[in-house]
Amino acid sequence: MQAKPQHEGYFVADQYTQQDPTTQYPQPNFGEQKLEHPGLEPEMQPKPDYGYETYRGSGRLEGKKAVITGGDSGIGRAVALAFAREGVDVLISYLEEEEPDAQETARVVEEAGRKAVRVPGDVRDEAHCQDIVQKAVDEFGRIDVLVNNAAYQMVQPGGIADITTEQFDRVLKTNLYAMFWQRVSSLTSPGTRTAFLPASSTTRAVCWASGSSSWR
C-alpha cells in the first residue's frame, strides 16, 4: 500500500505498515499549552492524532458491543474509532462539558457504519456508573467489552505533600471506584458476559486491573 501524506514532512500508511517510531513524526517545539480542565480537543495545537487517517479496520469484532468511559477524546476516541472500524457498536460516557468532543466521536463511529450512544455524566457517582451499564444493555442487548478509560490526575510541582484530600479522593473515585462499580454492574446484568479492559497512560495517577472473561 502506498503511503499517503498526513502532515507536511512525513508519511503514514496504516497500522500494518512497518515504520520506525523514532522518525515517524516530526518533533518541533510546540511550546507550553495551558487549558482549563477538562480541555476540549479543538483548543489543542497541534490537533491530536487518534487514527482517523491511518486506522484500517477489517471487521475482526463484527457485531460486538462496547462501553468506553472517557470516550469523547484522546485514547477513548481512538479506541471508539478502532472498535467501530472493526464492527463494534459503541457507547461512550464523558463529562457534560465535553459534549462537543463527544459529538465528534459519535460522528466518526457512525461514519464507520456503527451505532453510537452518548451518555454524559460523572463516573464518580455510583448511580451514574450503573446507568451507563443499563443504558448499554437497553440499547445493545448486552455488553461484550467494557473499556474503563476515564481518569483524573493533577500535576503537583511540589510533589505528594501538595496533593489535597479532595484531589486524592477525586483520583480514587474516578480511576478506581468507577471501575469497580461498572464491573459489578456489568456482571449482574442478565445475559451479559463482558471482557473488562482497564486503560492506562504514563500520566495516569491510579491504574487498577481485574480479571476478565473471554469473548462470548
pLDDT tens for each residue of 145-164: 999 999 888 778 888 889 89
What value does the mean pLDDT of the chain take? 81
What is the CATH classification number for the domain harbouring 106? 3.40.50.720
- What is the model's pLDDT at position 16? 77
Residue 41 in any domain: the answer is no
Is 51 among the domain residues?
A: no
The mean per-residue pLDDT over the stretch 14-18 comes to 75
**Residue 77 within a domain:** yes
Instruction: Please name which of 80, 97, 78 lies closest in space to residue 35, comparing C-alpha atoms.
Output: 97
pLDDT mean over 95-123: 96
For the stretch 172-192, pLDDT in tens is 999 999 999 999 998 887 766
Query: What's the pLDDT score for residue 216?
Result: 31
Identify whether 90 is part of a domain.
yes
Ranking 98-102, 173-177, 200-204 by mean pLDDT, the lowest is 200-204
Question: Domain of 141?
Answer: 64-209
pLDDT digits (tens, 9 = 90+) for 130-145: 999 999 999 999 999 9
Quote the pLDDT of residue 214.
Answer: 33
Q: Is residue 119 part of a domain?
A: yes
In a domain, 36, yes or no: no
Total number of domains constituting the chain = 1
Q: Is the dihedral of CA 171, 176, 182, 188 positive or negative?
A: negative
Cell of 35: 487549558
> Does residue 45 belong to any structural domain of this protein?
no
In a domain, 124, yes or no: yes
164, exposed or middle or buried, with CB in 10 Å at 0-12, 13-18, 19+?
exposed
